[in-house]
């Protein structure tokens, strides 16, 4: 009789220990979030749709500041910015940050946006 009584008392304790041990193992094995690498380029206005139409002029003014063909650069930059609502960072390159700006082509297949 004593053996039956002790089994009845010990059995629930063993089940609780197993459940708690399993739960603790799940918590311990969950992966921690990985830190993101720092972003060196300013992203304001360089991702699709991140600009407002009134922000195009200052972004295009900077984008076209180092070219000798300023007037056509400004015309096409503003046209592209109005459509894509983004302008790549810097005065040249970095078009991969704005796919719409990068992929818009002329009739001949050249890049439409400076």
25-64 pLDDT tens trace:
545 555 666 665 554 444 445 566 678 889 999 999 999 9
pLDDT tens figures, 67-112: 999 999 999 999 999 999 999 999 998 999 899 888 999 999 999 9
Residue 94 region by backbone torsions, left for phi larger than 0, else alpha for psi between -120 and 50, else beta: left
Backbone angles phi, psi at 4, to 5 degrees: -65, -40
CA distance linking residue 72 with residue 89, whole number of Å: 19
41-67 burial code (b ≥16 CB/10 A, e <16): eeeebbeeebbeeebbeebbeebbeee
pLDDT tens figures, 54-75: 999 999 999 999 999 999 999 9
What pLDDT is attached to residue 52?
86
Global confidence as pTM: 0.57
Per-chain mean pLDDT for the chain: 78
What pLDDT is attached to residue 16?
74
CA distance linking residue 54 with residue 83, whole number of Å: 13
């Amino acid at each position: 009789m004593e053996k039956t009584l002790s089994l009845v008392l010990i059995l629930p304790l063993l089940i609780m220990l197993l459940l708690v041990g399993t739960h603790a193992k799940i918590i311990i094995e969950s992966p921690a979030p990985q830190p993101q690498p720092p972003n060196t380029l300013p992203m304001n206005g360089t991702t699709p749709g991140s600009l407002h139409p009134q922000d195009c002029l200052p972004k295009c003014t900077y984008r076209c500041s180092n070219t000798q063909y300023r007037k056509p650069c400004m015309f096409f930059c503003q046209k592209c910015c109005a459509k894509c609502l983004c302008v790549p960072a810097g005065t040249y390159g970095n078009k991969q940050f704005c796919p719409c700006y990068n992929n818009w082509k002329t009739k001949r297949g050249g890049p439409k946006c400076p």
